[in-house]
Every structure is written in structure tokens, then in C-alpha cells.
Structure 1
Amino acid sequence: MKKASRLSVKILPLLPALLLPLSGHSVTAVAADAVAVELRGSQILGPAQQDLGEADWLARLNNWKRDTQGQYPAWLQAMQSWRNTQRASMGYDDAQYRRPELRWTQRDFVQTQAMVEDRYLYDPATQRYTVPRFLDDLRQRYGGIDSVLLWPVYPNIGIDDRNQWDMLRDLPGGVNGVRALIREFHAQGVKVFFPTMPWDTGTRDAGSSMHAATTALMAEVGADGINGDTMDGLPLEYRQAADASGQALSLEPELNFKDDRMLAYNQQSWGYWGSSLVPMVSKWKWLEPRHMVHVCDRWATDRSTLLQDAFFNGSGIQSWENVWGWWNQITPRDGEALRRIATIYRAFPEHMVSVAWQPHVQTLHYGVYASAFPLSDSTLWTIINRTDWQISEPVLRLPHQPGQRYFDLWQGRELQPRIVDGDAELEVTLEAHGYGAILRLRAGASMASLPATLQVLAQQARKPLAAYAATWQPLPQQMVAIAPTRAARSAPAGMVEIPAGLFSFKVHGIEIEGENKPGLDVQYPWEAVARRHHLHSLAINRFYMDVHPVTNAQFQTFMRASGYRPADAHNFLRHWVDGAPRAGDAQRPVVWVALEDARAYLRWAGKRLPHEWEWQYAAQGSDGRLYPWGNRWDSRMVQAPEQGRSLTAPAPVGQHAQGASPFGVQDLVGSVWQWTSEFADQHTRAAVLRGGSYYQPQNSYWYFPQAYRLDQHGKYLLMAPSRDRAGTIGFRGVQDAGD
């Protein structure tokens, strides 16, 4: 409480004058000897990168002419002057970076964002979190992580009225289960973040402010940090609420700070960085070297430039691979580079936050760039090679004092410099688009851990990065088989015949992000790779389909007859009271049933779920119509949408018979989402939902999108029944037909 109060005195009265805008192409801040400091968002241009007034195409053409070496002294002077002016203008106070309980943020070098649905993190078969498996995989592939951002919300949020905090509480085991999950990560030295979504204002009202609800839940589960999704800096209220909760929380916004003063109490951030031949400098790390930026590009399948930019700046890395269920695995080459970078970071953490950091120290080669991280008894240089060729020559020339020792950290060996006119020339091998690191110890200095570190690095360097595969491949998916039913010779009660026919199955996924990347959406058995857009001709066998979605009354009959009780009962039929539907709800579609619950009912009834193409054929017929009733949306054919923050019940079935499909199937669109096919890859399970629902949460682009058109489907990530059940997902059955 006292620390939060003292911080507010320092920050709140500051005038906004002199704060620089953070968007746009260029801001000239301070000049020294005609060299300007120019910003590109959260980055600063390096020497000789400044806009010379030529057209963009000519600037790219002339890039090779720019003399970064000659501009360096004046550029560094301008940078230092700009930093002093900027820190003074915002009344900078570093108190948050001196807090002992948050010093770990300065060693949080590798963070990954992990979907809670990832099958390496949670095993639905055993209903257990599998933290050792998750972490062992990352250690094996790229050396492991220092923190994890667990993601339990988007893209499923908005399927019903559960808010962002409800989604976390619905994880397997509830709050106690999450608390135990975090303890498992802590036992292996990994800190845990959860996100907060400022845009989540259309689901259930939590009854308190967003910062209060978030920090209270983080304290309850024992988390270490908050990631501000879409936030350009977490406001001071989050820092104050976190400190008031008694939980020491790191604040980490996704986007660039909208106000430079936020640097004082957001100890970490993400960096969506632009890149160029001459690497740019992190604005936030230059202003505060202890600030940890995690450089991120979730969609990049080649991360080599991202890794180089981070290593040049001594910045952290966001190793995000499961991107909303699209698996973007780090290639073996990039994974091995990350392992070696992280090994150096973790062995020399104090160097990486040196207040005397100097980016763009002079090197001896075009296309080779270096940063120096000095401490009192040693200096570490990180080096990147932007060229397409290997360099095996002297790279740095440094002032030399007798007794100084030099080490090639990247290769794990001591260097014997060539002394020329009092300078040490240091020769290292830099692979094409590769990395290097040099450590200099002053005379008489020693590091007890250095021999063991060199041994590890030498072992890693035995195989060059070029020997590792650099080609990215999408992860193959499999469609979960649906067993056929006993064949019926005529339509069972409540079902309608769907005749055999040749069907042009044309559908696309409506995921908000991902463009048309291979591996996105789903992969049908006839496709070589998952993709968003699908078209295939199918011969459909005759079958029978339920005229309406399964109702509460029908599901109650099943419960009484079978004695069915799910192993994971959280949220199961949560809209019922004392084991029965509410009065008046008997003929409404049953909801709050997981895929497993629906399958259990259908087995009991002698039915099965429809394949997605069967559902679409029954809804569309053979003429490719966009809606069951035709090609124009008609709101009279469906239930009136619910757009409030509290979920109401779906309408009883059969009230919109005029909206039936050509085969007489009703309540296909705008009633409840309906379970169909399931898909799985090595990391993610997902179900295709069809028909959309009546619930439309407002105020945000990021809620689970509707798919009312018959050529659209939703992809719903699966984790565990407790989490998968929703107030807007129901189902209907089909039965195979005999001769």
C-alpha cells in the first residue's frame, strides 16, 4: 500500500507536455552534430538510418551506401542526450524496478504464450494438467522458458455470456485447480501470467472495475503477472490494485505505451518490431535498461530476424507457437538459435540489463552489428550477421589492457586476440544470418561459473545452425471418426429423411485472425493441409436427421433412463434446477452439454452426430443457398437476437417452421450452435459448430463470431467438458438409413 501511494505521488501530477507521440513514421526529438534521434513506434533508428528525404524505393536501393560506422559517435551522443531529456520530461522514477520481489522480471528472457487447450498442457483423457510434458518439450526444442502466459479466453469468449474471469474459473478444477497448476510451474522455475481484456464489456458484468476484478483473481490463484491484451500500457490503477491485493504482479501490455510515463510501472512489454538491415534500438530498453521487452511475431514462420533483433538489443523473446489453435512451431534452426541466445542471457543476466548498454558499437564488417553490455569487471558484446555469407575474420577491434581475457561465448572457447597498436582484434566465425557473442574480463577478474557455461556453449556449438532444418511445415490434422448407427428403414419419430445426392460441399471458417495461412481452420480427410476455404464434391448416402435440436425434455428422459453422470460435471446442465429443466423450458434446446455429453445421449438413442457436410446438406439442399429458406437473410425466420450482457434462454423448438430447409429440418440457424465434426492435431482439439446462435454480445470485434450463412462454420477450441460446455451450444442427431 505504501509503495503504491508513493508511486502515485510521483506519476499522477506530471504534465503531459514534452511526451512524444508513439505512432507514425518518424519523430525528430533531439539532434547532436546534425544527427537526429528518430522513432518508429517503440523503436529508435540506428546510425545512418535517418530519413534522407529520398523516396522509399530509392531509400531501399541506397541502403547499402549508409555509413553506420562514421555516424556512430554523433548518433550515440544524440541518443544519450535524448534519453536524459526524455527521462527528465516525464519525471522518471525507477522505484518499481528496484522492488526486490519484482527483480525476476529482469531475468524473464523467454516467455511463451500457451493456449490452455494445448494437449501438451492438459490431457483430456486423464483429466490432468501435464506441466512436465509441456516444459520438457520446450526445453528439448529450444532450451525452455522463464515465464508462460496462459490464455483461457479468446477466441472462445462470446460463445455465451461468460466473461473473461468466468472463463478462467471454468478451467478444470476451478480456482483450486489453477492454483495447483501455477504451483507446478513455480516448482520448475517458471513464472505465470494471465491476460486481461479491456474490450470484454459485452458479457456478464463482473460488478467491479476491470482492474479490481483482474488483480483480485490473480491474487486468488497466485499468478505472477498480467498481460494487457490489446492494451497500449496498463493504467496506473492496475499497479495500485495489484499492490493493494498483496500479490506482487508484473504488468505487461501487448502494445506500445500510449504515454511514456507508463514505463515507470509496466516493468515488461511486448515488442511488435519492424525490421531493417540496420537493426533498430528498443525505445523502452534505451530509456530503462531493466525493462524487459518480449519481441513477438505470432504469424512469422521464419523467426530469424526477430531473434537477431532481440539479441542485438539484449531483449526478451516471446516464443508463441499455439496461435488460437493454429500451430506455428519454431523451426529447428530458429529453435537452436533461441537455445543458445537463452543460454547466454541466463548465464549473464546482469550484463543484459546494464545501465551502460551501448547499441551499434563499431564492427569491422558491413552488415555486422553489435551491442556492448558493460559491467565494472567485464563487458559482453552481442553480435548479429545480417549478410548472406559466413564471416571468419576479425569482427571487433577493442582497446586492450594487459591481463584482459576474451571469450567467444557463441563457440564456448577462449580467444587469443591479435594486439595491433594497443587494440585487440577479435576473430570469430559468424554464420550467414548468424550470431556471435564475446566476453571480455578485465585483468584479475574471474567468474566462477564461466568454465561450466563455456562447456555448455561449446557443446551447443558443435553443430552449426545451418545444419538444422529451417523449413516450416503446417501440422497435419485428423478428423475424429464417427461410427455409423444401426440402419433404419424408415424415418424414426421426430426425424426426417435426407435423400441421397451428390453435394458440392463449400464452406469456409470464420476465425477472426490468421488470414489464409496453411494449417488454419480444419483439414478434411480429402485435403493435404488444413486451410480456411474448402470445396469438395461428395456423394451423400441417405440418412435421417432430427427435425429439431434435442430438447431439455428429451435429455431429461435420457438422464432418467440411463443414469448418465459425466466424470467432469462442472457446468453440466447448469441451467437446470435440482436436476430438472425449469418450468417452461422442456421444449427449449438443451444446452450446457459438452461434446462428450451429446455423444452419450446419441449412443443411448441409437443415433450419432452429423458429419459437418451432412448437416450442411440437410440445411442447404443441392442448390447452394445461403440460408435454409433461401439466399436472403430474413429475421422473421429466426429467434430475435439477445444482445444484452446476461444470457437468456433459447426459444422453444418449432416456432419458426417457415425457416425450415428444403428437406424440412428446422431451427438450423440462429437458435443454438450445434456440435458436428471434431478435429485434432498433435496440440489442439477443436469442434466445428454450425448454425450460429441467438446470442450476440456487443461492444467488441473479438467475441466468437456468428456463422449464420450455410457456407460458414465456427471452429471452437476444446479442452475439457467443464470448459467446453456453453449456454448456446446444443446438438441434433442423425441415423443412418438402410435399403
Structure 2
Amino acid sequence: MQKLSYGTKAVVAAICCACSLGMHAQIDYPHLKLTTEGITAPDCNDVGKLLIGGTQTCSPQGYQTWLSEMRGWRTNRHIRMGYSGDMYDLPALKWTQSSFIQPQMMMEDRYFYDVAAGKYTVNRYLDDTEKRYGGIDAVLIWHTYTNIGIDDRNQYDLIRDMPGGIPAVKQMVADFHRRGVKVFFPVMVWDQGTRDEGKPNWIATAEMMKEIDADGVNGDTMDGLPKAFNDAAIKIGHPLALEPEAFPGHDEMLAWNTMSWGYWLYPYAPDVSRSKWLEPRSMVNVSARWSHNKTDYLQAAFFNGVGFESWENVWGIWNGITPHDGEAIRRMATMERGLAPFLVSEDWQPYYATESRGLFASYWPLKTSAAWTLVNRSDYAMQGELLRVKDAPSGAKFYDVYHGVELRPRMEGKDAVLSFDVGPHGFGAVLQIDGSLSASEQSLLSKMKEMTQKPLESYSAEWNFLPQTLVEIAATKPAPDAPAGMTKIPAAAYRFRVNGIEIEGRDDVGVDFQYPWEPSPRRYHDHVMNVKSFWMDTNLVTNAQFKKFMDATHYKPADAKNFLRDWEKGTYPKDWVDKPVTWVGLEDARAYATWAGKRLPHEWEWQYAAQGTDDRKYPWGNSWNAETVPTPDTGRALTSPDAVGAHPHGASPFGIQDMVGNVWQWTDEYQDDHTRAAVLRGGSYYQPGGSIWYFPQAYKNDSHGKFLLMAPSEDRSGTVGFRCVMDAQ
């Protein structure tokens, strides 16, 4: 018989009675209001109803009715689910129950990998998180979107192509483990348009995670990872923490999805997490990736005894945590880690009564001890008698965990009335013990006492973007005469209008690029400029031309993985002499340009050469013409680009060929403290199907792609080539 974890005999009896009578009864919970991922507070905590209907007090009887219905609903759901919490008892996954802080970290983050040194810098990355917000418990290493789909490499190929390949990735994971941090990678079930891995996602994912010794999987866009992912991991002896992007689509999925992200509502009175209420050992990481102020999200997490997704590098867009929020995360996480055994209590009581409206508490009893987590949702500080412990055990001791001091209760009969302070929009915690403090409890109080000497509200809450800089492109020796294979682009006053095609980010500050004349990064750009005359390659650099460079210089990149990947024995395939060279990174293209006495074009030079001064949409005019570009390749295996000049009717006003639709073309690079990205122009012939999340095309003259840069092995692509320019006298 399935053992019931929660509930009352009366509720079970009522259900059984209804069944025995042949009734299709639906138990009613009139005081409960459920949202998709939460359960709303008792009505008496609704500040809106307080203002409209006058004073409304949360009576003990009303609260007990609400709590009884909460427990009854949970028991009912467990029966209907046939719920088993066996996965939460698995020793290999116990760590999930105290994994409170987890960033999603783009693999391109400059704190994570040093391209100049050619090595992972895990310690630098972790030291930065510890300095700014107290460190992390797990990390989600994002290696796919936004770049996936630029060629046919699938999500598993992109792990294999990380610097150093699988051996280095496994060592990098071990470096995180050495610092006590668990490692997640995402799985993209929508990635069905790139190379076929030849096996189901769940098997491929389980095998890859075992190979690199990762600890968990995040299900991108998923409201629950199917049981097949759990079964595949268990079968090969490598259990994984499964973490869907949102609350499991069906409550039953809680049985094997031991973690999740929280995209909740954030009212004045915090909602109760549905998954946490159904399974107190379930860990939710509340996500607030675009918000500049994290207070609502952090307070909702602390009230529910769950964690926070400290996500800052959002698809290569830096949304940094403010000093105020960083300190709030540090304090919240320190308390949660210290109180972790309490925060999985089966007898959790949200909305334990406090003595002050706007102060919300959760009660976490554990044997003869207990803890309370409290959040002040008001703009002002609260002091004095804030918590009444009903029928306090004789001899119990109480501690203000947040300030790290013992409390002296005022006894009112059997009740212990506790006085302490909670700052505006602040956090509080109370610990009740029977006997002496343990060593870990003493350590927690000492840490918190030192940490809270400075008021939380004194830390700056001002948010600032990270400024970007353009990587300099050195001028060439001016060419007095026409260089072979180049066309002269005349000087002009040019209105440079372009926008980024990023799928996410809207028009938030920080999205896309910051040109040298702009005060901040943004998606839409409009600038009138004087473009000096220059020479541009009429055609893209071909395999034959790159072979001359290789023969003359014997160029060998330090990171050679994927370099000229489609060549064999030092040369290109037969009949590819006039095809544009691909599988060359930005560094490789720059090396060729230097050897040729040329340089890569600035983006505005590239666009002017493609567009002229009449603001045309495409190089050939204002209407799309499929006959002027290669036929799109929508298959799962990459073919090859067309030969240069094969589509002469697609030429620009100046006669420049293949500006659009054959291969992407390297231009400028921008970077800030955490991110690097290249401006790619022209789009390519490859269009993997099946998902809107693949790297989008930029065929119009006024659009560009933002390609995140990590290391040459990852950056090189079968659809990216280049052309050069030379300065004119």
C-alpha cells in the first residue's frame, strides 16, 4: 500500500466513503485559490481587500480553516497522483534539498574561460560570485542558445566542441566539485533540426552527463522532464537532478523532477509554491532574469524556504545584480543553508501569525526545535514584539538568526512573545531550540551577527549596465591603385541604420551592441557618418585563396579544433576551389587579412558596400528575390555554400557579390567585462527547421546577428566566412 505522507484520516475517510458509495465526489476547498504555480494567501492578508472593506483581522479560526484545507488538498492530490517521494530519498540526490543559489551561466562568460590563456577559470568565476553575493550551490552552464543552429552541430556536439573537448570539460566540472558546487547542463528537446544524434534525447543526455560527471539537467522551455530522462540516468548508474524551466506540467512529475524554476506571481502577500507545498523537499529556484530589482523574488523564495536563480548573463546581455540585492542574496542564502534541515519539514505552516500586518512568516517545526522565516513587505522597518509562539515548550530558547543574537521572550501565559527588528523590505529568521546550540548553529549566528552590522537598506539599489567597447581594427597601408579582386567603395555621407535580431531582450538597455558614438548598448541604431573611401573584396575569400595563405605562412592556431574542418590532408575538397572558406574563426580571418595586407571590414563599411546610399532593403533592391541567393538548405546535415559569384544578379550597387544568403561574414567584435560577441552580416544558406530558437537569419541590409564568442573551437562554423577590405588613399 502507498504510504501517505500528509493529511488527516478524516480527509482520507471522506474520499474512501465517497468511492464506496459509487459517488464521483469532488472535494471542495472554498478558501483556497490556486494559480498555475502557487496558492494565494488567506483573504485576510490581501491588502487590497483591507483597503476596500475596512479593517480585517486574520483570526486564528480563519487561519486554521485555511491551513486545514491546504493540507486536505495536498492529501487529495497525493492520492490522485499515486505519489511516491522515493527519488527524494535517494542519497545521490539529497544535495538538491539545500541547493539554494544557482546561476545560469553562459559558457561564453569571460569570467569562466580565458581565451588568451586557453583555460577554464572556474576559481575566478566562483570568487566573483562569493565576493558580490555570497557564492553559489550549483551552476547551470548554458552552451547552446543563442548560437545553436548557425550550423548543423547539435546540443551534444556543442559540448564536445567546448575548449579542450570532453577531457577538459570533465576537468572543469571537477573544478566546480572541488569548490562544493554542483553542475547542470541544459537539454533542448526542441533541437530536432540539427545533426541527428542517432538516439533519443533522454539516452543521449544521460550518457553525456555521465561522461562529463555533471549532476543535473535543466529542461529548456519544459514544464516537466519526462520520466524517460530519469529512467535513462538511473539505468546507467548516474542519477541526475532534473530541473524543468517551470513547475511540472502535471503534479505527478514531482516524483522525479526534484528541482524546478519558479516563475510566480509576486503579490503583497507572497503566494505559497505549489510544488514546495506538495513536496517540501522539492527545490525551486525563483527566476528573475530581466528584473533590475530582485526584492519581490527573493522575499517570495525566502518565505517558501526555496532558492534563487542568480542569473546575470542573459543570452550575452549583462543584467547585473545590484549591491543591495547581492547583499540580500548573501544574507538569505546564509540563513537558508544554516536552516536547511528545517526547510524540508513535512509540517511546514505558511502564514504563521505575526504581530504586525505586512510581516509574513513560515513556520518550520522539526522534532523539538523549530524555525521561522519572515519577510517584511512594507517600506518601513518593523520593531518590537513581532512574533508570538503559542504554547512555547518549557525551557525553549529563541534566537534572532538574522542578527545572530539570543532573544529574551516575554511570557504571556504559555505564549512566548518575541521582540526583534526587521528592516524595510527586509528578512528575518527565528530559531527555537531545546537545549544548547550545536556547533553549526553557533557558526550560523556568528556569521549573521557579523554580516548584519551594516543595515541592508544602506547598500545601493542602483542598477547600471555594463559599457561595451569596440575591438580596434588597425588601418592598412593605403592602396593607391586597384588591388587585384577588389572594388573601390567611394567616400560618402552615410546614414547607418541597423538593428539586432536577438529573439529575446526586447529593447532593454544592454541588448545588442554599443557603437563608439552611443552612450549604452541597445537594439536599434541610427547614425549619420562620413565613410572614407576603401577597397573591398569583390568576392568572399575562397578555399583556394586561403590555401595560398596556409602554404605561405604554415599558420597553426593554438586552438585548432574545427579549424578548416571540411578540409582533408591540408587541402579543400575537390571542386571547392571557388567556394568561400568556412570553419575559420575570427582570429583565423584576422591572420589571413594581416598576411594579405588587408583587414576585416567595420560593420558600417560592410553595410554601406551592400546598401549604397539609397537605403535599399537588399543588395539588389527592395524586394526579396530567391533567384539571387543560394537555395536554402533545411536538412539536418550541413552541405556546402555555393561558389562565389554564382549569383551575379544579387550584387550590391557597387558590384560586390554574395553579400547575402551564401555565408555569414565576420566584421566587428565588441566586449564588456563579462561578454564578447561578433557582428555577423549577410545570413547564410543553412536554415535548420523545427524551432524558432535557432540562430535567426539576417538577410536584410539593416539587420545583423550577434554571435557570442567563447573560443575558436566553439566559434568556428561551417556557415561563417569572410571578406577583406583595404584602406584607400
TM range (shorter): over 0.9
Find the residue that maps to 2:402 and give its secondary structure: coil
Q: Tell me which residue corresponds to 1:372.
A: 363
User: Which of these residues, 139, 142, 145, is aligned with residue 130 of structure 2?
Assistant: 139
1:38 aligns with 2:33: yes
Q: Tell me which residue corresponds to 1:23.
A: none
Q: State whether residues 190 and 691 of structure 2, in contact with CA within 8 Å, keep that contact through their aligned partners in structure 1.
A: yes
> Gaps spanning 5+ residues in structure 2: where?
3-14, 16-24
Instruction: Return the alpha-carbon distance in structure 1 between the equivalents of residues 470 and 133 of structure 2.
Output: 30
The more displaced of 219-228 and 417-426 is: 417-426
Instruction: Return the alpha-carbon distance in structure 2 between the equivalents of residues 64 and 221 of structure 1.
Output: 60
User: Which of these residues, 478, 488, 491, is aligned with residue 482 of structure 2?
Assistant: 491
* CA deviations over 1:174-217 (Å, ceiling 9, x no partner): 11011000000000000000000010000001111111111111
Q: Tell me which residue corresponds to 1:431.
A: 423
Q: State whether residues 45 and 58 of structure 2, in contact with CA within 8 Å, keep that contact through their aligned partners in structure 1.
A: no
Instruction: Return the alpha-carbon distance in structure 1 between the equivalents of residues 55 and 692 of structure 2.
Output: 45
Distance verdict in 2 for CA 1:110–1:670, change over 3 Å: same
- 1:263-662 mapped onto 2 (5 Å cutoff): 263-399=254-390, 400-442=392-434, 444-662=435-653
Instruction: Return the alpha-carbon distance in structure 1 between the equivalents of residues 690 and 454 of structure 2.
Output: 52
User: Which of these residues, 155, 160, 165, is aligned with residue 156 of structure 2?
Assistant: 165
* CA deviations over 1:158-178 (Å, ceiling 9, x no partner): 000000000111000111011
Instruction: Return the alpha-carbon distance in structure 1 between the equivalents of residues 393 and 256 of structure 2.
Output: 41
The more displaced of 377-386 and 68-77 is: 68-77
- Tell me how far 1:327 sits from its aligned partner: 0.7
Q: Tell me which residue corresponds to 1:10.
A: none
Amino acid at match of 2:653: P
1:708 aligns with 2:703: no
Q: State whether residues 377 and 445 of structure 1, in contact with CA within 8 Å, keep that contact through their aligned partners in structure 2.
A: no
- Tell me how far 1:382 sits from its aligned partner: 0.5
- Tell me how far 1:245 sits from its aligned partner: 1.8
Q: Tell me which residue corresponds to 1:668.
A: 659
Instruction: Return the alpha-carbon distance in structure 2 between the equivalents of residues 182 and 427 of structure 1.
Output: 46
- Tell me how far 1:29 sits from its aligned partner: 8.0
Q: State whether residues 503 and 540 of structure 1, in contact with CA within 8 Å, keep that contact through their aligned partners in structure 2.
A: yes
Instruction: Return the alpha-carbon distance in structure 2 between the equivalents of residues 296 and 64 of structure 1.
Output: 35
- Tell me how far 1:316 sits from its aligned partner: 1.2
Instruction: Return the alpha-carbon distance in structure 1 between the equivalents of residues 723 and 395 of structure 2.
Output: 80
Find the residue that maps to 1:628 and give its secondary structure: coil
* CA deviations over 1:443-493 (Å, ceiling 9, x no partner): x35322222221110011000111101011111100100000000012201
Instruction: Return the alpha-carbon distance in structure 2 between the equivalents of residues 127 and 189 of structure 1.
Output: 24
Q: State whether residues 656 and 666 of structure 1, in contact with CA within 8 Å, keep that contact through their aligned partners in structure 2.
A: yes
1:226 aligns with 2:206: no
Amino acid at match of 2:409: P
TM-score normalised to the size of structure 1? Answer: 0.93
Amino acid at match of 1:74: T
Q: State whether residues 30 and 78 of structure 1, in contact with CA within 8 Å, keep that contact through their aligned partners in structure 2.
A: no
* CA deviations over 1:520-555 (Å, ceiling 9, x no partner): 100001111000000001100000000111000000
Q: State whether residues 45 and 269 of structure 2, in contact with CA within 8 Å, keep that contact through their aligned partners in structure 1.
A: no
Instruction: Return the alpha-carbon distance in structure 2 between the equivalents of residues 203 and 402 of structure 1.
Output: 66
Q: State whether residues 660 and 699 of structure 2, in contact with CA within 8 Å, keep that contact through their aligned partners in structure 1.
A: yes
Q: State whether residues 145 and 693 of structure 2, in contact with CA within 8 Å, keep that contact through their aligned partners in structure 1.
A: yes
* CA deviations over 1:679-716 (Å, ceiling 9, x no partner): 00000100000000010000000000000001100000
Instruction: Return the alpha-carbon distance in structure 2 between the equivalents of residues 647 and 77 of structure 1.
Output: 60
Amino acid at match of 1:162: R
Amino acid at match of 1:532: R
- Tell me how far 1:256 sits from its aligned partner: 2.3
Q: State whether residues 248 and 257 of structure 2, in contact with CA within 8 Å, keep that contact through their aligned partners in structure 1.
A: no
Find the residue that maps to 1:429 and give its secondary structure: coil
Distance verdict in 2 for CA 1:611–1:277, change over 3 Å: same
Distance verdict in 2 for CA 1:413–1:503, change over 3 Å: same
Q: Tell me which residue corresponds to 1:734.
A: 725
Find the residue that maps to 1:119 and give its secondary structure: coil
1:237 aligns with 2:228: yes
Instruction: Return the alpha-carbon distance in structure 2 between the equivalents of residues 68 and 596 of structure 1.
Output: 66
Q: Tell me which residue corresponds to 2:115.
A: 124
Q: State whether residues 44 and 50 of structure 2, in contact with CA within 8 Å, keep that contact through their aligned partners in structure 1.
A: no
Instruction: Return the alpha-carbon distance in structure 2 between the equivalents of residues 675 and 552 of structure 1.
Output: 16
Q: State whether residues 418 and 425 of structure 1, in contact with CA within 8 Å, keep that contact through their aligned partners in structure 2.
A: yes
- Tell me how far 1:723 sits from its aligned partner: 0.3
Amino acid at match of 2:36: G
The two structures, once aligned, show a CA RMSD in angstroms of: 1.7
Q: Tell me which residue corresponds to 2:75.
A: 84
- Tell me how far 1:58 sits from its aligned partner: 7.8
Distance verdict in 2 for CA 1:637–1:307, change over 3 Å: same
> Gaps spanning 5+ residues in structure 1: where?
1-5, 7-17, 19-27, 52-56
Quick one: percent identity of the two aligned structures? 52
The more displaced of 402-411 and 725-734 is: 402-411
Distance verdict in 2 for CA 1:59–1:424, change over 3 Å: closer
Instruction: Return the alpha-carbon distance in structure 2 between the equivalents of residues 579 and 552 of structure 1.
Output: 11
Q: Tell me which residue corresponds to 1:11.
A: none
Instruction: Return the alpha-carbon distance in structure 1 between the equivalents of residues 90 and 667 of structure 2.
Output: 52
Instruction: Return the alpha-carbon distance in structure 2 between the equivalents of residues 62 and 591 of structure 1.
Output: 67
User: Which of these residues, 22, 43, 47, is aligned with residue 42 of structure 2?
Assistant: 47
Amino acid at match of 1:709: K
* CA deviations over 1:654-673 (Å, ceiling 9, x no partner): 01111111111110000100
Q: Tell me which residue corresponds to 2:251.
A: 260
Q: State whether residues 385 and 417 of structure 2, in contact with CA within 8 Å, keep that contact through their aligned partners in structure 1.
A: yes
Distance verdict in 2 for CA 1:544–1:59, change over 3 Å: farther
Amino acid at match of 1:418: R
Instruction: Return the alpha-carbon distance in structure 1 between the equivalents of residues 340 and 181 of structure 2.
Output: 16
Amino acid at match of 2:407: L
TM-score normalised to the size of structure 2? Answer: 0.95
Instruction: Return the alpha-carbon distance in structure 1 between the equivalents of residues 53 and 458 of structure 2.
Output: 30
Q: State whether residues 50 and 56 of structure 2, in contact with CA within 8 Å, keep that contact through their aligned partners in structure 1.
A: no
- Tell me how far 1:734 sits from its aligned partner: 0.2
- Tell me how far 1:263 sits from its aligned partner: 0.4
Amino acid at match of 2:116: A
Find the residue that maps to 1:38 and give its secondary structure: coil
Instruction: Return the alpha-carbon distance in structure 2 between the equivalents of residues 62 and 601 of structure 1.
Output: 72
Distance verdict in 2 for CA 1:61–1:506, change over 3 Å: farther
Q: State whether residues 609 and 675 of structure 1, in contact with CA within 8 Å, keep that contact through their aligned partners in structure 2.
A: yes
Amino acid at match of 2:287: C
